[in-house]
Amino acid sequence: MAAPALEGAAVTALRSVMLRVRQGAERAGTRPELIRVVAVSKTKSVSLIRQVYDAGHRCFGENYVQEIVDKAPQLPEDIEWHFIGHLQSNKVSFLYAAGVPNLSAVQSVDNEKVANILDRVVSSLGRNPLKVFVQVNTSGEASKSGINPSVCASLAEHVKLRCPNLVFSGLMTIGMPDYTSTPENFRTLSNCRLEVCQALGIAVDQCELSMGMSGDFEQAVMLLSFVVRLDSN
């Protein structure tokens, strides 16, 4: 009898944070519909994800290759899957070829090797270009993946100019776990965007920022993040 209550709670929680995202966007002077909310469904059951899907949400994020490969075939094909976890080069083909044809974006590209393999896999499968975000380690924590902010423009340039089967879409970061330094981390990513846009000769709105989780997404929205990642529970 407890499972339906938990599933209902997940939907209620997501709707609550969606409202807060909208309110934060309005305070920041941003059109709320421009902000994409990725419901992080790692460790969540297929039935719970389906409940959130049935409530109208279509964008989900997974951290582990095996999980997304297992779940995606069991769920509707119009889900927009984002892979947000650390991606090892030897898992790239498995992620994209083994059952996730509706993979919309990989938000965790942090080196040229992974970018090159992704590019080759997309080409070999004859699929449409895949959106990618360059992950930046803005906190300097050794435990976190991500490229150093000082060289993120170089990797973004590599993706845009040398990986024709990938679409450079923006930058991603994960703030400090205690949220005390997240404003600084988010400002660092915003500065990285300016450097990337200058290096690539693109407008700021062509480089999205993916930052913010359930505990700090409102700060991210206020700093003009257009992609936020929220736990779905």
Whether residue 82 is contained in a domain is answered as: yes
* Alpha-carbon span 112 to 143, nearest angstrom: 20
Whether residue 4 is contained in a domain is answered as: no
Percent of the chain with pLDDT over 90: 50
Picking from 28-32, 42-46, 123-127, 215-219, which range would have the lowest pLDDT averaged per residue?
Answer: 215-219
Provide the pLDDT confidence category of residue 89 given band limits of 50, 70 and 90: confident
Sorted by sequence, the CB contacts under 8 Å of residue 201 that are 6+ apart come out as none
pLDDT in tens, 115-155: 999 999 999 988 889 999 999 999 888 888 999 999 999 99
Sorted by sequence, the CB contacts under 8 Å of residue 56 that are 6+ apart come out as none
Whether residue 209 is contained in a domain is answered as: yes
| The total number of structural domains that make up the chain | 1
Higher pLDDT, 96 or 84: 84
Whether residue 226 is contained in a domain is answered as: yes
Whether residue 3 is contained in a domain is answered as: no
Mean pLDDT of the chain: 85
CATH number for the domain harbouring residue 143: 3.20.20.10
Provide the pLDDT confidence category of residue 98 given band limits of 50, 70 and 90: low
* Alpha-carbon span 45 to 32, nearest angstrom: 29
Crossing angle (nearest 10°) for helices 46-54 and 2-28: 50
pLDDT in tens, 8-31: 777 888 788 788 878 877 887 777
Whether residue 2 is contained in a domain is answered as: no
Count Cβ atoms below 10 Å from residue 14 Cβ, excluding itself.
21
Helix (H) or strand (E) holding 40: strand 36-40
Task: Name the DSSP class of 60.
Answer: E
For the chain, the first-to-last Cα distance in angstroms comes to 18
Q: Write the CA distances from 104 to 25, 198, 218, integer angstroms.
A: 24, 26, 24
Whether residue 56 is contained in a domain is answered as: yes
pLDDT in the model for residue 71: 95
pLDDT in tens, 165-183: 999 999 999 877 665 556 7
Closest CA to 134 of 152, 114, 149: 152
Whether residue 68 is contained in a domain is answered as: yes
The residues that bridge with 208 in the sheet, in sequence order, are 170
Contact 123, 165 (CB under 8 A): yes
Full residue range of the structural domain in which residue 114 is found: 9-230
Helix (H) or strand (E) holding 28: helix 2-28
